[in-house]
Chains A and B, each alone.
Chain A
Amino acid sequence: MSATYLSYLYSFLIDNVLILMIGMLGVYVLTGLTGMFSMGQAAFMAVGGYAAAMLSKYLHMPLLVTMPAAVLTGTLFGFLIGLPAVKLRRDYVAIVSLGFSEALVAFLNNTASITGGALGLTAVPKYTTRPMIIVIFVLMILFIWNLKNSRFGRECIAIKSDELAAASMGIDVARVKLLVFTLAGAISALGGCLYVHTTTYLDSAAFGWTQSSMWIVMVFFGGVNSLTGSVFAGIVLGLIPEIFRFSDALRIVIYCITVLFIVNFRPQGLFGETELDRKTIKRIALAVGRFFKRVFAPSQAQEAEQG
C-alpha cells in the first residue's frame, strides 16, 4: 500500500463516502428510527443538488445562499411527498417515494435546456473543502444523535415498534411521521448540495433507486436503531468497492457477500441497538481491563473471581 494510494483512499472517503453518508442519515432517521421505507431518498439528494447547482451556475450565488436554498427545497419536497405518504401503510410509503424519485429523474431528463438532462450539469463552482465536509458531517451526526435522545427519537422508535400503542400514549403519529419525512428530505438535500459543490458535476442517473436502496442496506447492515452502526456501515460499505478496485469483477461480489453474511448471521444488524455512548465505552473499558488482568496476572485474577 503506497502513500499515494492511502491519500487517494482518504480523498475518496471525504469527497465521496462522507457526502453520500449525509444522504444516508436521512434514511437513518426515516427508516432506521421511524420504520418507514423510502426507496427514493436519493431523489431528495438530487433536489438539493440541482437547486444548489443551478443557483451557483446560473446566478453565481455563493455557498451561503445555495446551501440554505438546497435544504429549504429538500424540506419543501419532503413535506409535499410526506403529506400523502404518511397516511399510508409503511410498505406503500416505499412505493410512493420510489414513484417520486423515478418521476423526478424523468423530469430532469426532459428539461434538458436548464438541467442538462441525461448529460448532466457541468462546471458547477467548487465551494467545498475537505475540512468543511468533515465539520458538516460531524455536526450532522451530532444533531441526529441529539434528536435520537430527545422526545422525537423516542416517539419515532415508539411509532416503528407499535403505532397503536404510540397513539394511545398521546403521540400524534401522522404529525411525527410528516415531521420525520420533511427532516429526512432536508438532510438528504444538504448531502446533495455538498455533493454537487465537491464533484462540480451532476447528472440525474446518480440518484436513482439503486442509491436509495444502497442506503437502506447500510442502515440495516449497521443495525436499524444504532446511529453508530449506520455510520460504521456507511464507511465500510462505502470503502469496500474502492479498496477492492484492483479486482473489478470481484468487488461487487465481495460487497454482496459481506452484506449477506451480516443479514444471515446478525439479522438485527452489526450493532443491533447498541450505540457508542458513555455506557458502552465504560463496559468496553471494563472488559478490556479484565482481559489484561487475565493475561498479565492470571493468578490474581483467578483469586478475585473465586473470592
Chain B
Amino acid sequence: MGKLLEIYNLSKSFGGVRAVRDVSLSMDSNQIISIIGPNGAGKTTIFNLISGVYKPDAGRILFMGKDIVGKPQHEIARMGVSRTFQNIRLFKGLTVLENVMTALDAYSNYSLFSAMLGLPHKRQIDKTNMLRALEALQIVGLSKYRDEHPTDLPYGLQRRVELARAIVSQPKLLMLDEPAAGLNPSELAAFIGLIAELKQRFGFGILIIEHRMQVVNELSEHIYVLNFGNLLTHGKPQEVCNDPEVIKAYIGEDSSSVTNQKSLCQL
C-alpha cells in the first residue's frame, strides 16, 4: 500500500539557525501521528515545509507518491493537505460560516461573470458549499454560531472554527498545530473524542503537533520526537515516553530525581 506522506532527510535553515535537520518521517492514511518536542524544536517548521510556506534546503516530501517540494501553497492545499495554525488564523471580516465556506471556494468553478450576475449555477454551487460548511460546523458543534464573527467567540470555539474549516474540504491529510493549547481538562477530553471520531468518519491521516501528552498518548499510533531540529527518536507512545533521551530533552539534564519517579506517560 502506498504511503500517504513520506519525508526524506528534510532540512531547513533560517540564517544561522538550522531549524530542521535531516528529518525523515512516514505515515499511512487513516493513521494519527504526533510530532512532539520542546519549544523551538522545529515542529511548526515541518508543517510549513509540508504545506509549502517554506521551501526546504534539502530533502524530499512525497504526498501520495508525488513530490510536492517547490509547489505553491494553494496547489498543495488543493491536493488534499489542510491545516490549522498554532496561533489561530481565522479570517476577520467573514462570519463563522463564511470562514468555513472559504475552504471550499477554491474548488468552486464558476466565473467572475456568473458571480457578478448571480447566475443560477453559481447559486447552486454556493448553496451546496453552504450545506457542506454547515455540516462541518455541526460536527464540531458550532451550528448556532454560524453568523457570528470569529473574533467575538471565545478562544476554544475559535479553535473549533479552524478545525471545521480544515475538515470541510475532506482533505486526505489533516495537520493540527497544537490544537489542544489553552483547552481546560473537560474541553480536552471532548476534543480528543472529536478527533478520534473525525478519523473514524473521514479516514484521513492526521498529523498532530502537541505539547499535552494526554492528547498524544491517547490519540496517536506513532510519535516522532524532535529536539533542536533533529529527530531524536520515534516509535509507539509507550516506547517513546519511557525513553530516557526524550525525558532528558523535555525535563532537562540534571533531573534524575524527577525522572526516576515519572515517565512522560503520566504527565
Contacts and interface: CB of A to CB of B under 8 A. Distances in A.
Say whether A associates with B: yes
A167 B82 CA distance: 10
- Among A144, A165, A173: residue with most chain B CB under 10 A: A165
A165 B85 contact: yes
B112 to A, nearest CB: 6
Contact of B115 (A146, A160, A161, A165): A146
Given A154-B94, A154-B102, A167 B77 contact: yes
Contacts of B77: 167-170
Given A158-B94, A168-B82, A170-B169, A151 B89 contact: no
Contact of A143 (B83, B89, B94, B116): B116
B91 A143 contact: no
A174 B126 CA distance: 23
Contact of A165 (B78, B89, B93, B108): B89
Interface string A165-195: 1111111110000010001000000000000
Interface in A131-180: 143-144, 146-147, 150-155, 157-158, 160-162, 164-173, 179
A223 to B, nearest CB: 10
A139 B262 CA distance: 71
B199 interface: no
Contact of A171 (B89, B105, B115, B118): B105
Given A170-B106, A171-B74, A158 B115 contact: no
A99 B84 CA distance: 39
A164 B98 CA distance: 17
A162 B151 CA distance: 14
B117 interface: yes
A59 B165 CA distance: 55
Contact of B53 (A161, A164, A170): A164
SS of A interface (majority): helix
B73 interface: yes
Contact of B89 (A155, A162, A279): A162
Contacts of B149: 273
Contact of B102 (A160, A171, A173): A171
B36 interface: no
A225 interface: yes
Range class of the B interface residue count: 35 or more
B94 A151 contact: no
A170 to B, nearest CB: 3
Contacts of B85: 165
A179 B83 CA distance: 26
B55 interface: no
B235 to A, nearest CB: 30
A186 to B, nearest CB: 10
B250 interface: no
A160 B93 contact: yes
Given A147-B115, A172-B74, A166 B91 contact: yes
Interface in B55-85: 72-74, 77-78, 82-83, 85
Contact of A150 (B83, B90, B126, B169): B126
A146 B91 contact: no
A273 B110 contact: no
B101 interface: yes
A183 B112 contact: yes
A160 B92 CA distance: 9
Residue from the set A143, A151, A168 with the largest chain B CB neighbour count within 10 Å = A168
Nearest to B95: A273
Interface of B: 51-53, 72-74, 77-78, 82-83, 85, 89-94, 98, 101-103, 105-108, 110, 112, 115-118, 122, 126, 147, 149, 165, 169
Interface of A: 143-144, 146-147, 150-155, 157-158, 160-162, 164-173, 179, 183, 224-225, 273, 279
19 contacts: A144-B116, A147-B115, A150-B110, A150-B118, A150-B122, A151-B105, A151-B110, A153-B115, A154-B94, A155-B105, A158-B102, A161-B92, A162-B92, A166-B102, A168-B73, A169-B77, A170-B77, A170-B169, A172-B72
Given A150-B126, A166-B102, A273-B93, 7 more contacts: A146-B115, A146-B117, A150-B115, A155-B106, A160-B93, A167-B73, A225-B93
> Which 5 residue pairs are nearest across A and B when measured between Cβ atoms?
A170-B106, A150-B115, A151-B105, A167-B73, A170-B77
